[in-house]
Amino acid sequence: MSIPRKVAWIAGAAAVASATVLVAPAAFAANESVNVYLTTTSDSGGRTVTRGLQQQTPISFASSSGSANQTITVNENTSYQPFEGAGASITDTAAFNIRGSGALSAATQNDVMTKLFSPTAGIGVSAIRNVIGSSDLAQGNFSYDNTCCDVNDFSLARDADVMALTKQAVGLNPSGFVMASPWSAPPWMKDNNAYSQGYLQAQYYKTYAQYFVKYIQGYQAQGVPIRYVTSQNEPGCCPGYPSMQWPVSGLQSFAKNDLMPALQSAGLNTKLLIGDWNFDTYDQWVAPLVADTAIRNHPNFGGIAWHDYGGNPSTASTVRNQYPNVNMYMTEHSGGTWVSNQHAEDMGDLIEYFRNWGRAWTKWSLAVDQNMGPHNGGCGTCTGLITVQRGGSRAGQVDYTIEYYTMGHLTKFVKPGAVRIDSSANGTVPNVAFRNSDGSKALIAYNTTTGNQSVKVNWGGQSFVYNLPGRTSATFTWNGTQSNGGGGGGSGRTGTITGLGSKCLDVTGGSTTNGNQPQLWDCGAGNPNQQWTVGTDNTIRGLGKCLDVANNSTADGAVVHQWDCIDSVASQKWTVNANRDIVNTASGKCLDVKDNSTANGAKLQLWACTGAANQKWITP
């Protein structure tokens, strides 16, 4: 880990573009029951839990629920990225505290793991980010092969406790995933022959790639598949504990010429996440790699990993708008004594990360002891989801921290395979919403004030009002299908729109800026920029914005762009006729490919309908 940052609530970070607008089934819900789970802290530091994920008396949606001083509107007809999981790292420190030290009885160990990982008897932690080798939260320095100059002596014996707990976690929650990150290569591969700092020697790039392969294969042989790896935790950081320096060009070369080819050659599906560093390091450490098509288009490329000790999570949205097919993963932000309000920080992270395209979230160590250790240099003030008492009058006991409960607000109710759905941003009661694959919904919210806030939650044509206490986080869950009134335009047919030259209608640059002009582009499977909904309200929507004629013009050659959807604006209404024309209702003119061009980037205009090929479209 590195120097922490203090979270500030930024409402604007919540306003990011939508990816898909879904078709609602015909059978709608009425008066659905809503389960409510609350966590409250009583102190200004947000660490003293007075109730943790405590279920309250259920409430119900109604056609009329009165007024409130805060409003959140949930619209499940608009969905965003899928959810893959959330959790923490089974560090060497965590494994020693839970298993290796003998501080906990076998019964207590099993109880702890169940409460952490079971989706039914616990909070259902669903993502694990483990360390390849040693880190600052370890008993000491180690690697899996200490002899130069190959990896023929590779052994995972040192990971016995980590392996055992990871296997148990996967058994308790098989829908989750495991990823892995190294802090340092074995010292003999580095130019300073030390665990801290130094550069990986270029002569060992391919050997180090095989080190990754052996690690993945070793875990896989024990029934623990590794879904993702990063090539370096926090490149460029930090002396005093296991760490390693890289030139950016070295990271780039290692990714495309060594690591990903080695994974592919070994027949491994494990994917590489680049970055694994702070939001404010993107330009230096990540931008050159993600811009490299040899990296971005490789089958073993998985996306970008982010840490949150510097910068702002909105950076992930900015990058995602530039690279709409690149996935975002929030891979580290530790709790710790430096955090002024841990409850607020955790809920801020949870909400901001997923409102900015995060598909997964892992904190740092799953567990520390009462002295926040053991640690191997680096962070001696980090906290975990649990604290294991390894000495004193409470030896053998386990404390479940506020971080356990804040994580549980997500993982207990949002399952891998869920998708984020639209919910309106609110600076006083920030929130994020999801729909599970079984159709159940979860709205997670946090009252940032110390006083009660009445919150009205709208969902379709129904709503409820709930009085949310101060310093309290909530998860509201319910079933059913959204009735009419959920934000307009959601119901319709969704898919690609193809035109001249069999090119796809595409949101240029993935931008959701008003005035962005869509284009024709080569069709790409699963590209969210090419998903359009032809709505029952006669709108055509891409990334949540309506196809619109600039300045409400009816002239030939009028620019067609995208704009916020406004129901009363006639220039945003279109009909698709049997001749495959897309006709603007306000003018009676056709959607037309400018200059009859089939080039990538060709723009659109309004033109009198002629029956020409550049006015013919195949719609969902």
Could you report the per-residue pLDDT of 138-178, keeping only the tens digit for each? 999 999 999 999 999 999 999 999 999 999 999 999 999 99
Residue 564 has a pLDDT of 82
Helix, strand, or coil here: 591? strand
Domain covering 492-615 assigned CATH 2.80.10.50 in the classification: yes
Residue 24 has a pLDDT of 32
pLDDT digits (tens, 9 = 90+) for 278-296: 999 999 999 999 999 999 9
Q: Which of 84, 71, 133, 109 is nearest to 357 (CA)?
A: 84
Residue 29 has a pLDDT of 52
CA 216 to CA 226: how far, in whole Å? 6
Residues 181, 133 contacting (CB under 8 angstroms): no
Residue 227 has a pLDDT of 98
Q: Which of 116, 84, 87 is nearest to 360 (CA)?
A: 84
CA 79 to CA 22: how far, in whole Å? 7
- Residues whose CB falls within 8 Å of the CB of residue 114, separated by 6 or more in sequence, listed in order: 121, 122, 172
Q: Please give the angle made by the CA atoms of 438, 84 and 46, to the nearest 5 degrees.
A: 100
Residues 153, 147 contacting (CB under 8 angstroms): yes
Does the pLDDT at position 552 exceed 70?
yes
Does the pLDDT at position 64 exceed 70?
yes
Does the pLDDT at position 323 exceed 80?
yes
Confidence band for 30, pLDDT divided at 50, 70 and 90:
low
CA 230 to CA 300: how far, in whole Å? 12
Confidence band for 85, pLDDT divided at 50, 70 and 90:
very high
Position of tokens 């404010």? 280
Residue 579 has a pLDDT of 87
Helix, strand, or coil here: 63? coil
Confidence band for 21, pLDDT divided at 50, 70 and 90:
very low
Neighbours of 575 (CB within 10 A): 12
Read off the pLDDT of each residue in 568-591 and give the average, rounded to a whole number: 92
Confidence band for 533, pLDDT divided at 50, 70 and 90:
confident
Architecture (CATH level 2) of domain 85-411: Alpha-Beta Barrel (3.20)
- Sign of the alpha-carbon dihedral angle for 579, 506, 361, 170: positive
Asked if the domains 13-77+419-478 and 85-411 are classified in one and the same CATH topology, the answer is no
pTM: 0.78
Residues 217, 224 contacting (CB under 8 angstroms): no
Confidence band for 1, pLDDT divided at 50, 70 and 90:
low
- Sign of the alpha-carbon dihedral angle for 432, 52, 43, 387: negative
Confidence band for 20, pLDDT divided at 50, 70 and 90:
very low
Helix, strand, or coil here: 318? helix
Does the pLDDT at position 493 exceed 90?
no
Residue 513 has a pLDDT of 84
CA 191 to CA 100: how far, in whole Å? 33
Residue 567 has a pLDDT of 73
The residues that bridge with 590 in the sheet, in sequence order, are 583, 607
Structural Rg of the chain based on CA atoms: 26
Of 59-63, 260-264, 362-366, 525-529, the one with minimum mean pLDDT is: 525-529
In the chain, where the domains are located: 13-77+419-478, 85-411, 492-615
Neighbours of 175 (CB within 10 A): 13
CA 439 to CA 456: how far, in whole Å? 22
- Residues whose CB falls within 8 Å of the CB of residue 201, separated by 6 or more in sequence, listed in order: 189, 190, 191
Q: Which of 160, 168, 177, 161 is nearest to 122 (CA)?
A: 168
Of 10-19, 96-105, 211-220, 503-512, the one with minimum mean pLDDT is: 10-19
Residue 568 has a pLDDT of 79
Residue 537 has a pLDDT of 82
- Residues whose CB falls within 8 Å of the CB of residue 568, separated by 6 or more in sequence, listed in order: none
Residue 525 has a pLDDT of 75
Using CA atoms, how far residue 559 sits from 433, 518, 535, in Å, is: 35, 10, 21
Which tokens hold the place of 1? 């880990």
Residues 245, 197 contacting (CB under 8 angstroms): yes
Long-range contacts of 57-60 (CB under 8 A, 24+ apart): 58/33, 58/34, 59/33, 59/34, 59/464, 59/466, 60/31, 60/32, 60/33, 60/34, 60/464
Residue 487 has a pLDDT of 42
Residue 592 has a pLDDT of 96
Read off the pLDDT of each residue in 298-322 and give the average, rounded to a whole number: 97
**HEC string for 66-131:** CCCCEEEEEEEEEEEEECCEEEEECCHHHHHHHHHCCCCCHHHHHHHHHHHHCCCCCCCCCEEEEE
Of 113-122, 207-216, 480-489, the one with minimum mean pLDDT is: 480-489
Residue 569 has a pLDDT of 87
Percent residues over pLDDT 90 in the chain: 84
Confidence band for 8, pLDDT divided at 50, 70 and 90:
very low
Tell me the one-letter amino acid at 236. Answer: G
Neighbours of 75 (CB within 10 A): 23
CA 82 to CA 526: how far, in whole Å? 13
pLDDT digits (tens, 9 = 90+) for 228-279: 999 999 999 999 999 999 999 999 999 999 999 999 999 999 999 999 999 9
For domain 13-77+419-478, which CATH number applies: 2.60.40.1180, 3.40.50.880, 3.10.20.90, 3.50.90.10?
2.60.40.1180
User: What single-letter DSSP state applies at residue 473?
Assistant: E
Summary mean pLDDT of the chain: 92
H helix or E strand, kind and range, residue 423: strand 419-423
How far, rounded to the nearest angstrom, does the alpha carbon of residue 32 sit from its chain's CA centroid?
Answer: 29
Tell me the one-letter amino acid at 415. Answer: K
Q: Please give the angle made by the CA atoms of 416, 420 and 425, to the nearest 5 degrees.
A: 145
The residues that bridge with 329 in the sheet, in sequence order, are 305
Tell me the one-letter amino acid at 475. Answer: T
Which letter, b or e, does each residue of 384-403 get, where b requires 16 or more Cβ atoms within 10 Å of its Cβ? Answer: bbbbbbbeeeeeeebebbbb
CA 293 to CA 70: how far, in whole Å? 45
Confidence band for 491, pLDDT divided at 50, 70 and 90:
low
Read off the pLDDT of each residue in 512-529 and give the average, rounded to a whole number: 88
